[in-house]
Amino acid sequence: MKGWSGRLLWLDVTRRESKVVNYPAEWALMYLGGRGLAARIMWEYMKPGAEPLGPDNLLIFAIGPLSGLPGPSTGKLQVAAKSPLTGGYGDGNIGTLFSNEMRKAGLDAIVFSGASDKPVIINIEGTKVDFESADDLWGLDTWTTEERLRKRYGRFAGIVEIGPAGENLVKFATVISQEGRSGGRPGIGAVMGSKKIKAVVIRGSEKADLYDDKQYNVEAAKALIEIKNRPGYQFWMRQGTMYTIDWAQETSVLPAYNFDEGVFEGFKGIDGFTMESMKVDQRGCPNCNMQCGNVVLDREGVKSELDYENVALLGSNVGIDHLADAAYLNRIGDQVGYDTESLGTTLSWAIEASQAGLLKDYDGGHKLEWGDIKTLADVAYQIARRSTPLGNLLAEASSGACRKVGGCDFSMDVKGLGVSAYDCHAAPGMALAFATSPIGAHHKDAWVISWEVQNDRFAYSKEKAAKVIELQRIRGGLFESFTTCRLPWVEVGLSLDHYPLLLYYSTGVKYSWDDLYALGDRIYALMRAIWIREKGGWSRDYDMPPVKWFKKPLTKGPLAGAHLDYDKYNQLLDYYYDLRGWDHNGVPTRETLHRLGLDYVIPELEKYVRLG
Ligand code: PTT
Ligand code: SF4
């Protein structure tokens, strides 16, 4: 095979053994890599019903046929496992040198099974593996951990690690790299912590074996030049995703006060222009010529790398109107190693719950207040350490906490994962995208909202359901499996036509757009099959957006009064299922599974559902 090594490294963490395995070439062709390969491995090798924080869960790192090569924003790695937060398929996409070094080590995937009884660093050189003690690192934050490991293994080593949040099995702990990169919102860092893996280090020295090296480089160079010449490039380099704050305010989708509202009176204090006035550095993922990690000093004078999502959820959504304060919470998230988006949705839920009197046994009678940065920062640390009853409760995320104390009507999650930073009172298509995302309410799979606000915004139409699927195919199916950053296409408009060519020169396989769309649909149906197997069945209730968007209309801004409509949403969901070839409960039909080459999942699925 060209473009793929065809090899995966299997690590038995309990026995401290490793072996290199050739996986079937068909998997590469049908699932590409990254998310697709991870899902295929999970279906094949994970024991059904595995306890997410037990040794039977598999932690999977996977790259794709474009990752780690020169070219448009290719330094990305997929980290996947059964999620302790949702109980279903979970993954994340992280920009890291690990991707480049994994490519040089000649590995398409690394699978971690079992669990260590003591903290370990797994040190991989090529395919040689050492399990080293991490006793001296356990308990340290991610920045200190990585700094120490870089001194030991070198500036260019691929390193990913967890912080105290992962060690303490916080349900939304992530995998961290290079200070500001975080991946695996549905608790993939907690899975790493449950295996007592503090860090994984990788270095390789092989040259990538491509089908046509020369043409690959020509095409990659063309794409990189096109990115720099796009009209939006200069502004992107100034603000990155932070431009979205002003846009979200204008379109009434900026989450405020636990998604009660879609506008925020203090938005100017946290927007992209404020960020520009505070900017001290710019950084990002490897192999990227449109680096979007904008760095400011937080309220303690420490560097913090910002994106729209974390600023909205740790700013307007918790009533904070000073960027340095939102940046402070964001930096805590990076250092302790958990997802800043879930921190935002969990803190905002906690404030609402506290004010409703649901946290009396936890808040010591001192109600949490919107915008109270000092208390919120204290709570953020308590969550990472599970050091107080409140911190321990909130370490389960709002979805877990509300099951203990009530308040699930205002937990802003789908399938357990907190929603990303787009209010959907007046955006049914985006609500559908959150509700049908294969990992819970992440915007990564279908950021339909920018299209939706310009195209019959209040419609619950078939066209909208089709648009969600189109985006899910490209974003959630293809980019997650290439595995590269999607932002060159989304944000500066790089032509998608580069990608089949890059794939061809990398692998020698000519994929048409029809092939690629079918590939995206296959990965989606497979992820759904994993969910059905792990949940022991399925119901369309799992594909519903948060109740608040239906029941509590907006009270502020030009769209005051707007809310979602149950009957119309159900109609939209029916359109979605029909277009996907799934039945009215959201289960892929036998015919659909057959068409996508997924006959092998049918016997297992028949144990849990009646296939149409
Ligand atoms: C991603 C999610 C996002 S999406 C953001 S801001 W965004 C939050 N960032 C966090 C952070 O930072 N620190 C932290 N401790 N937790 C964080 N949680 C949130 O994580 C990220 C970029 C971004 S920034 C986006 S949109 C794009 N996402 C991509 C994707 O999903 N797939 C893909 N093929 N390309 C993408 N490119 C962009 O990558 P998750 P990263 Mg991320 C401070 O991991 O789990 O997918 O969650 O990986 O290297 O940080 O890049 O406005
Ligand atoms: Fe990373 Fe941003 Fe570049 Fe994408 S655009 S690779 S997220 S720095």
Pocket-testing residue among 309, 442, 491, ligand 1, by greatest number of atoms within 8 A of Cβ: 309
Pocket-testing residue among 66, 96, 281, 290, ligand 2, by greatest number of atoms within 8 A of Cβ: 290
Contacts of residue 187, Cβ cutoff 8 Å, sequence gap at least 6: 52, 83, 84, 85, 90, 170, 171, 172, 173, 174
Strand order in the sheet with 7-12: 17-22, 7-12, 109-113, 59-62, 76-82, 89-95
For residue 340, give the nearest of 349, 331, 348 by alpha carbon: 331
Contacts of residue 126, Cβ cutoff 8 Å, sequence gap at least 6: 105, 106, 203, 204, 205, 206
Cα of 495 vs its chain's centroid, Å: 24
Q: What is the pLDDT of residue 394?
A: 98
pLDDT at residue 365 tops 90: no
Tokens of 143: 């920045």
pLDDT at residue 339 tops 90: yes
Which residue has the CA at smallest separation from atom 6 of ligand 2? 73
The CA angle 83-447-594, to the nearest 5 degrees, is: 65
Cα of 352 vs its chain's centroid, Å: 26
How far is ligand 2, taken at its centre, from the CA of residue 445, in Å?
16
The pLDDT of 271-300, averaged and rounded, is: 97
Q: Which ligand is nearest to the CA of 181?
A: 1
Rg of the Cα trace of the chain? Answer: 22
DSSP 317: G
Ligand 2 site residues, Cβ closer than 6 angstroms: 73, 95, 284-285, 288, 290-293, 485, 487
Q: Which ligand is nearest to the CA of 285?
A: 2
For residue 239, give the nearest of 205, 273, 216, 267 by alpha carbon: 273
pLDDT at residue 127 tops 90: no
Contacts of residue 231, Cβ cutoff 8 Å, sequence gap at least 6: 493
Closest ligand 1 atom to 285 CA: 49
Q: What is the pLDDT of residues 135-148, one digit of tens each?
A: 999 999 999 999 99
Q: Which ligand is nearest to the CA of 282?
A: 2
Task: Indicate left, alpha or beta for 139 from its phi (over 0: left) and psi (-120 to 50: alpha).
Answer: left
Pocket-testing residue among 487, 490, 492, 494, ligand 2, by greatest number of atoms within 8 A of Cβ: 487
The pLDDT of 179-190, averaged and rounded, is: 96
Query: Cβ–Cβ contacts within 10 Å for residue 227, how many?
Result: 24
Please, are residues 265 and 378 in contact by the beta-carbon 8 Å criterion?
Answer: no
For residue 416, give the nearest of 498, 339, 502 by alpha carbon: 339
| CA–CA gap between residue 564 and residue 426 (Å, rounded) | 7
**CA 76 → CA 64, 94, 397, 485, distances in Å?**
9, 5, 26, 7
Q: What is the pTM of this model?
A: 0.97
Closest ligand 1 atom to 308 CA: 52
**Which amino acid appears at position 448 of this protein?**
V
Contacts of residue 607, Cβ cutoff 8 Å, sequence gap at least 6: none
| CA–CA gap between residue 26 and residue 191 (Å, rounded) | 28
What mean pLDDT value characterizes the chain?
Answer: 97
The pLDDT of 356-366, averaged and rounded, is: 91
Pocket-testing residue among 76, 177, 292, 306, ligand 2, by greatest number of atoms within 8 A of Cβ: 292
Q: What is the pLDDT of residues 58-82, one digit of tens each?
A: 999 999 999 999 999 999 999 999 9
For residue 609, give the nearest of 512, 499, 507, 529 by alpha carbon: 529
Q: Going by DSSP bridges, is the β-strand pair 7-12/109-113 parallel, antiparallel, or unpaired? A: parallel
At 1, is the pLDDT very low, low, confident or very high (cuts 50, 70, 90)? Answer: confident
Ligand 1 site residues, Cβ closer than 6 angstroms: 76, 92-95, 174, 180-185, 241, 285, 305, 307-310, 330, 333-334, 339-341, 444, 479-480, 485-487
At 221, is the pLDDT very low, low, confident or very high (cuts 50, 70, 90)? Answer: very high
pLDDT at residue 465 tops 90: yes
Closest ligand 2 atom to 484 CA: 6
How far is ligand 1, taken at its centre, from the CA of residue 176, in Å?
11
Instruction: Pinpoint the alpha helices (H) of 409-461.
Output: 428-436, 449-452
Please, are residues 314 and 258 in contact by the beta-carbon 8 Å criterion?
Answer: no
Q: What is the pLDDT of residues 567-576, one digit of tens each?
A: 999 999 999 9
pLDDT at residue 363 tops 90: no
**Which amino acid appears at position 254 of this protein?**
L
Residue with tokens 């549905």: 186
Query: Three-class SS string for 490-537?
Result: HHHCCCCCHHHHHHHHHHCCCCCHHHHHHHHHHHHHHHHHHHHHHHCC
